[in-house]
Amino acid sequence: MSSGGEALSKQQQMNLSKHTKIYIAGHNGMVGSAIWRKLEAKGYTNMVGMSSKALDLRKQIDVQRFFESEQPEVVIDAAARVGGILANNDYPYQFLMENMQIQNNLIDGAFQAGIEKFIFLGSSCIYPKLAPQPLVEECLLTAALEPTNEWYALAKISGVKACEAIRKQFGLDYVSLMPTNLYGSHDNFDLQTSHVLPAMIRKFHDAKQNGHAAVQLWGTGTPMREFLYVDDMAAAVVFALENNLPEHLYNVGTGSDITIKELAQTIQKVVGHEGLIEWDASKPDGTPRKLMDVSKLSALGWEATISLEEGIQQTYAWFLNNQAQIKEVKL
C-alpha cells in the first residue's frame, strides 16, 4: 500500500504548501468532512468550508461572489444531492437539476476565477448498467444507465465531461474521481433516503433494540457490491491533490466485492442482531454487479487500506455516539 507518489514523476508531484487555500464544497457531508479531517491530519492549515445556509451552491451569482471574495487556489467538489434507489425514483427532477446546478456553478466559477486545480467527485453509477465487470473508466457512455439512478448519473456524467473539456481545451488540472459505494461516519442513516449500507445498519440496530425482531431487506440479496470506507476515499482525494494525475478520470475503490446477503450478515454480526433476515424479492435489486477496476490509480501508487468489517465497526461506533443528531434528509 502506498499513499505517496512513487509511481509518478517529480514533475507530476505538486508543489503545494501546507498554507495553500483549499475550498472543500460540501465540507459538512460524509465525504467532505472526511477530506477535511485527512487534510488537517497531514498538516494543511488553510481549508475553507461554507455551510449550505451560508452559501447556496445552486445559485450561480452567490458562488461567483464567493470565489471573488475567498480566492481559493484549489477546489474539491464533494457537494451533491445524494440518496438511494427510493430517493432517486421519487425525486428525479431534484436529483438531475440540483446536482447540475451545484457542479456547474463550482466548475465554471472556479474556471472563471482562474483556479488551476479542481477535483470533482462523482459516483460509480455513471457507468452503464450492464457494462463489463470490473468497470473500467473507458466504458463511460458506451451503453444505457441503470434506470433507478439515471438522474443522478446524468448530472455526474456532465460534470466529468465539463472537467475533461477544461483539461483538454485549457490544459488545467481538472480531474474527476469516481468512487464506488461509500460509507462511514457522518453518513445518512435516514431510511427513506439512505444508501444500502447505512440503511442496513439502522435497520439491524432498530431491530436489535426491538427484541431482535426480524429485519426485512429489499431484493434477493444476490447482487454484488463493492464498498469503500470514506477515510480511504479522503486519502485518494489528497493523493489527487498532491499529484498532477496524467488522465482526467479515475475510479476509486477496493477492487473487491461481496453479495448484498454477505453484507447484511457482516452488519448483523457487527451490530449484534440475533433475529431473522427476511428478503423481499418483489423489491428491485438494482444493478446485478458493480465492481470498479482500480488499476489506473493503483498503478500511480494509491490503494485502499481499510477492510469492510473494520470500516463497518467504525461506522457503527459513530452511529451509536451520534444518534441524537443523525442526519435526516429533507426533500
Confidence of residue 323 (pLDDT cuts 50, 70, 90): confident
Tally Cβ neighbours within 10 Å of residue 59.
14
Confidence of residue 7 (pLDDT cuts 50, 70, 90): low
Percent of the chain with pLDDT over 70: 92
pLDDT at res. 245: 96
CATH topology of domain 10-187+226-256+290-306: Rossmann fold (3.40.50)
- Find which of 5-9, 11-15, 216-220 is predicted with most confidence, using mean pLDDT: 216-220
pLDDT at res. 235: 98
Q: What is the 3-state secondary structure (H, E, C) of 82-134?
A: CCCHHHHHHCHHHHHHHHHHHHHHHHHHHHHCCCCEEEEECCHHHCCCCCCCC
Mean of the pLDDT values across residues 119-142? Answer: 94
Q: Mean pLDDT for the chain?
A: 92
| pLDDT of 122 over the 60 cut | yes
pTM: 0.90
Q: For the segment 181-190, what is each residue's pLDDT rounded down to a tens digit?
A: 999 999 989 8
pLDDT at res. 1: 40
pLDDT at res. 169: 98
C-alpha distances (whole Å) from 161 to each of 104, 114, 157, 301 are: 11, 19, 6, 25
Smallest CA-to-CA distance from 121 within 75, 179, 183 is with: 179
pLDDT at res. 285: 84
pLDDT at res. 73: 97
pLDDT at res. 5: 45
53, three cell numbers: 445556509
| Residue 152 annotated to the active site | yes
| pLDDT of 109 over the 60 cut | yes
315, three cell numbers: 461506522
| pLDDT of 328 over the 70 cut | no
pLDDT at res. 166: 98
Residue tagged active-site, from 23, 44, 127, 152? 152
| pLDDT of 331 over the 60 cut | no
Pairing of strands 74-77, 22-25: parallel
| pLDDT of 58 over the 60 cut | yes
179, three cell numbers: 468512487
Mean of the pLDDT values across residues 67-82? Answer: 94
- What are the φ and ψ backbone dihedral angles of 56, each rounded to 5 degrees? -85, 105
| pLDDT of 2 over the 50 cut | no
Mean of the pLDDT values across residues 70-93? Answer: 85
Q: 192: which residues sit within 8 A by CB, 6+ positions away?
A: 86, 87, 329
Q: Parse the chain into domains and list their residue ranges.
A: 10-187+226-256+290-306
- Cα–Cα distance, 64 to 78 (Å, whole number): 18
Smallest CA-to-CA distance from 198 within 179, 212, 183, 210 is with: 183
pLDDT at res. 42: 97
Q: For the segment 148-184, what is each residue's pLDDT rounded down to a tens digit?
A: 889 999 999 999 999 999 999 999 999 999 999 999 9
| pLDDT of 75 over the 70 cut | yes
CA dihedral 226, 240, 146, 290 (to 10 degrees): -20
Q: For the segment 250-291, what is each residue's pLDDT rounded down to a tens digit?
A: 999 999 999 999 999 999 999 999 999 999 999 988 778 889
